[in-house]
C-alpha cells in the first residue's frame, strides 16, 4: 500500500543529522533481544528447556530470571540455598542461551502481572522496627514488599546476598551476560507509591511514602545538613519552627502536588530533592556492593530499572504528580547517579503510544517519556535496555517497540514475558513470530543509492518498519549523502532477512517534503553479508 501522508503520530522528537551523514545504525551491531522467564518456579524442566531452545532458534540472545531473595535465604540470616537456581543455570546453559539473573530483593506478589507469592525473608523483621525498615504512605498504609532505603541494615543484607551469589555462580561466568539489581518494589528504583491495597487505582497519582519515623528522621537530618540552623531554614521556607523535630513531610499530597501549591515552593523542592535523593543514595550503595563482588568474578554489565510512570504527565492540575510520588523528580539528576555508579539502565513501556496525552483522567505520554529517558541516557553515555510494561498481543505494540528501540539508541529489548510466547501445551503463540520478526538481533548494512535526483537540500529514506521510521519523515530522518550532482547514497543497518517497503523523499531548505511518486519500493535483506538497492528518481 502506498504511503503519502505526513504527520501520522503526535510524537514530535526531531533527530537532525549532519549534512555529511551517510546514515545511522538503526539496528545497533551489538543490539540484543532478551525474554523474561516465568516469575514462579519451574516444575517441568523438560518443557522449559524446549521453550528455551525455541527462543534461541528465533533469535533470542538471553533469558532474564528473577532470583528471589525469599527463596534463597528464607530460613535464617546468612543461610543460603542456591540449589534451585544452580539447576536453572544448567538448563539455560544447555539451551545455548545466555543468562541474565536479577537479584530480586523485593516481594513477588501484589504488583501488576505478579503470578506468585514470595515475600522477602520473614526473619528480617526481627532486625529492627517497621518504623525504620518499611514504608508508610501518606494515608497510613504500611508496605513491607522491600526494605526502605534509609534503613542502615539494608546495605548489609544486600552485601551478604551479592557475596554469596558471586561465590556460588563463579563457574557460570561464561553463561551470565548481565546482572541486574532489584532496587525497589517490582524490582524498580522507585517508591511503592501506586498500590491497590492502599486504595490506588490507575490513573491516580499514587501516595507519598515518607511517613515512617525512619523516613522523617532522615528528612530532618538532610535539612539540618543543608541549612545548619533552624533560623536559616525558616527564612527559606517562610516558617516559624522552633526545633528540627517540628519538620514534617507534606501533610496532604493532593494540595502539595497542586500546580502553584507547595510543590512550587522552596519547601517543595527541598522535600522532592530529598525524596529522590534517597533513591539515588540507595542506588549508589548497592551498586558499589555489586561492583565489589561481581566485577572481578563475572566482568559483565550491572544494571537497574526505572519504571515508566507515564500517567498524569500532562495533568493541568497536578502535572507529573504520579512520577513525583514514585520518586522521579529530576530524571537528568537520577541518570547522573546511574552514570556515576557505572550502572546500565532498563526502562519500560516501549510498547505504548501517546494517544491519551491530553485525555482526562490519564494525561498519559509514555512515548514522549521513553524518548526523554533515552535521549538523556545517550547524552550521558549510559547503556540502555527497553521493556514492555504490559502484554503485547498485536503487531502495533511490537511496531511501537521497534520504533523506539532502533531510533533511540537502545542496546537491547527484554520481552515480558515467556508465558505470552507459548501456550499451555508448549506450542508457540502468535506473539513469538511477531517478536522474532519485529525485534530481531541480527542486522546487516544495506546501502541505498538514488540517482537522477533533482536539486534538493536533502534526500531521505522512509519506510514501513520501526527501524526506518514507520512512514513518518517528520519525526525521523534517515539522510543520504550527496556523492555528486544528482547522486545520493546512505548505508543503514537493517534487520537481516526481512522484507521492507520504503520510499525516498526530498526536503528543501524550508523542510518542505516531496515524496517519490509511484508505488512503494521493496527489498528483502540478505541473511548475511551486505545489501544494496539503487533507485532512479
Classify strands 458-463 and 499-507 as parallel, antiparallel or unpaired: antiparallel
Q: Is 32 helix (H, G, I), strand (E, B) or coil?
A: strand
**Reduced 3-state DSSP string for 312-348:** CCCCCCCCCHHHHHHCCCCHHHHHHHHHHCCCEEEEC
Give the number of other CB atoms < 10 A from CB of residue 257: 26
**Bridge partner residues of 117 (DSSP):** none
**Rounded Cα–Cα distance for residues 33 and 412 (Å):** 6
Candidate list 26, 138, 145, 188, residue with the active-site label: 188
Of 347, 502, 532, 525, the C-alpha closest to 442 is: 525
> DSSP H helical segments within 169-265, as ranges?
213-227, 230-237, 253-257
Contacts of 300 (CB under 8 A, 6+ apart): 173, 176, 177, 178, 179, 294
- Which parts of 47-151 are beta strand (E)? 62-68, 98-104, 135-136, 142-143
| Annotation says 387 is catalytic | yes
Cα 301 from Cα 222, distance rounded (Å): 32
Rounded Cα distance, 278 and 269, in Å: 14
CA-CA distances (angstroms) from residue 272 to 22, 158, 205, 258, 417?
44, 26, 15, 14, 34
> Cell 508496605 belongs to which residue?
143
Place of cell 530532618: 220
d(CA 50, CA 47): 5
Alpha-carbon span 502 to 74, nearest angstrom = 56
Element (H, E) at 507: strand 499-507
Which phi and psi angles does 73 have, rounded to 5°?
-135, 45
Residue among 262, 387, 403, 477 flagged as catalytic: 387
478 sits in which H/E element: strand 478-484
3-class SS at 444? strand
Phi/psi zone of residue 377: left (φ > 0), alpha (ψ -120 to 50 degrees), beta? alpha
Output phi, psi for 298, to 5 deg.
-105, -30
Active centre residues (catalytic): 188, 387
Amino acid at each position: 500500500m502506498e504511503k503519502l501522508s505526513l504527520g501520522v503520530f503526535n510524537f514530535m522528537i526531531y533527530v537532525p543529522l549532519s549534512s555529511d551523514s551517510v546514515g545511522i545504525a538503526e539496528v545497533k551491531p551489538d543490539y540484543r533481544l532478551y525474554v523474561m522467564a516465568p516469575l514462579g518456579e519451574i516444575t517441568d524442566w523438560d518443557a522449559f528447556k524446549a521453550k528455551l531452545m525455541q527462543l534461541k532458534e528465533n533469535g533470542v540472545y538471553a533469558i532474564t530470571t528473577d532470583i528471589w531473595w525469599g527463596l534463597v535465604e528464607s530460613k535464617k540470616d546468612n543461610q543460603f540455598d542456591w540449589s534451585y537456581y544452580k539447576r536453572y543455570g544448567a538448563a539455560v546453559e544447555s539451551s545455548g542461551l545466555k543468562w541474565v539473573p536479577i537479584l530480586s530483593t523485593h516481594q513477588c506478589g501484589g504488583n501488576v502481572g505478579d503470578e506468585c507469592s514470595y515475600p522477602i525473608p520473614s526473619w528480617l523483621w526481627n532486625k529492627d522496627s517497621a518504623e525504620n525498615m518499611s514504608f508508610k504512605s501518606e494515608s497510613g498504609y504500611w508496605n513491607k514488599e522491600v526494605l526502605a532505603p534509609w534503613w542502615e541494615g539494608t546495605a548489609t543484607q544486600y552485601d551478604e546476598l551479592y557475596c554469596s551469589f558471586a561465590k556460588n555462580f563463579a563457574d557460570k561466568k561464561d553463561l551470565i551476560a548481565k546482572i541486574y539489581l532489584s532496587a525497589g518494589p517490582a524490582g524498580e528504583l522507585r517508591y511503592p507509591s501506586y498500590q491497590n491495597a492502599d486504595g490506588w487505582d490507575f490513573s491516580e497519582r499514587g501516595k507519598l511514602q515518607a511517613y515512617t519515623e525512619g523516613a522523617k528522621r532522615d528528612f530532618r537530618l538532610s535539612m539540618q545538613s543543608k541549612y545548619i540552623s533552624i533560623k536559616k531554614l525558616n527564612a527559606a521556607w517562610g516558617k516559624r519552627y522552633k526545633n528540627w523535630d517540628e519538620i514534617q513531610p507534606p501533610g496532604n499530597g493532593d494540595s502539595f502536588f497542586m500546580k502553584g501549591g507547595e510543590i512550587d515552593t522552596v519547601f517543595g523542592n527541598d522535600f522532592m530533592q530529598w525524596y529522590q535523593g534517597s533513591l539515588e543514595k540507595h542506588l549508589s550503595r548497592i551498586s558499589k556492593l555489586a561492583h565489589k563482588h561481581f566485577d572481578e568474578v563475572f566482568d559483565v554489565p550491572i544494571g537497574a530499572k526505572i519504571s515508566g510512570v507515564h500517567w498524569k504527565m500532562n495533568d493541568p492540575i497536578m502535572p507529573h504528580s504520579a512520577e513525583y510520588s514514585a520518586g522521579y523528580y529530576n530524571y537528568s539528576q537520577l541518570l547522573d547517579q546511574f552514570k556515576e555508579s557505572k550502572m546500565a539502565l532498563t526502562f519500560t513501556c516501549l510498547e505504548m503510544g501517546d494517544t491519551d496525552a491530553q485525555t482526562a483522567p490519564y494525561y498519559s505520554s509514555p512515548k514522549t517519556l521513553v524518548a526523554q529517558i533515552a535521549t538523556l541516557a545517550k547524552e550521558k553515555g549510559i547503556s540502555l535496555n527497553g521493556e514492555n510494561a504490559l502484554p503485547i498481543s498485536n503487531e502495533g505494540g511490537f511496531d511501537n517497540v521497534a520504533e523506539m528501540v532502533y531510533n533511540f539508541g537502545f542496546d537491547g529489548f527484554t520481552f515480558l514475558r515467556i508465558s505470552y510466547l507459548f501456550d499451555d501445551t508448549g506450542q508457540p503463540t502468535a506473539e513469538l513470530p511477531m517478536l522474532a520478526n519485529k525485534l530481531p538481533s541480527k542486522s546487516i548494512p544495506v546501502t541505498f543509492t538514488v540517482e537522477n535526483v533533482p536539486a534538493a537540500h536533502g534526500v531521505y529514506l522512509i519506510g514501513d518498519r520501526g527501524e526506518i521510521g514507520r512512514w513518518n519523515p517528520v519525526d525521523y530522518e534517515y539522510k543520504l549523502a550527496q556523492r555528486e550532482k544528482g547522486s545520493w547514497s546512505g548505508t543503514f543497518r537493517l534487520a537481516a532477512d526481512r522484507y521492507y517497503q520504503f520510499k525516498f523523499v526530498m526536503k528543501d531548505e524550508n523542510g518542505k517534503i516531496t515524496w517519490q511518486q509511484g508505488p512503494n519500493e521493496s527489498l528483502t535483506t540478505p541473511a548475511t553479508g551486505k545489501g544494496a538497492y539503487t533507485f532512479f528518481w
